[in-house]
């Protein structure tokens, strides 16, 4: 398996634009997680899904952020409108039902909002 695949690897956009980050989890994994990492706040869990259903979105900063998982092999994290303070590295991770606490992370998307 190729592991968790995220795209794009880097995104540079201007304030006010819509940003969509994409994630393909490991095949057969039933949980998917979106994290954000900054120097100031460290690694923060934004939202996670079980079997394509959002379970906990308490980490989503505000209504500008939304996440979807239309099927078991794809998820998106959207920011609309984007702001400079959204600049961070966004990671996607997945885990299996039999090993819930072993998460496999993608390479991340480095987002810069100018």
In the complex, which residues of this chain contact another protein (CB under 8 A)?
4, 31, 33, 42-43, 45, 48, 50, 55-56, 91, 93, 95, 100-108
CB of 16 to another protein, least distance (A): 28
- In the complex, least distance from residue 38 CB atom to another protein, rounded to whole angstroms: 13
Q: In the complex, what is the shortest distance from the CB of residue 99 to another protein, in angstroms, rounded to a whole number?
A: 9
Structure-block tokens of residue 30:
């039933």
Residue 85, helix vs strand vs coil: helix
Kindly list the distances between the CA atom of residue 84 and the CA atoms of 11, 13, 23, in Å, as whole numbers in the listed order.
13, 9, 22
Residue 89 and residue 98: Cα distance in Å, rounded?
Answer: 28
Is the Cβ of residue 21 or residue 106 nearer to another protein in the bound state?
Answer: 106
Nearer to another protein among residue 57 and residue 81 (C-beta): 57
* DSSP classification of residue 25: P
């Amino acid at each position: 398996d190729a592991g968790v695949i995220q795209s794009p690897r880097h995104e540079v956009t201007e304030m006010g634009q819509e940003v969509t980050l994409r994630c393909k989890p490991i095949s057969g994994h039933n949980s998917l997680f979106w994290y954000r990492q900054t120097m100031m706040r460290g690694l923060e869990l934004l939202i996670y899904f079980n079997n394509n259903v959002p379970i906990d979105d308490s980490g989503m900063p505000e209504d500008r952020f939304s996440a979807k998982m239309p099927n078991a092999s794809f998820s998106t994290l959207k920011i609309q409108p984007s702001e400079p303070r959204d600049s961070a590295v966004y990671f996607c991770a997945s885990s299996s039902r039999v090993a819930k606490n072993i998460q496999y992370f993608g390479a991340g998307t480095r987002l810069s909002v100018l």
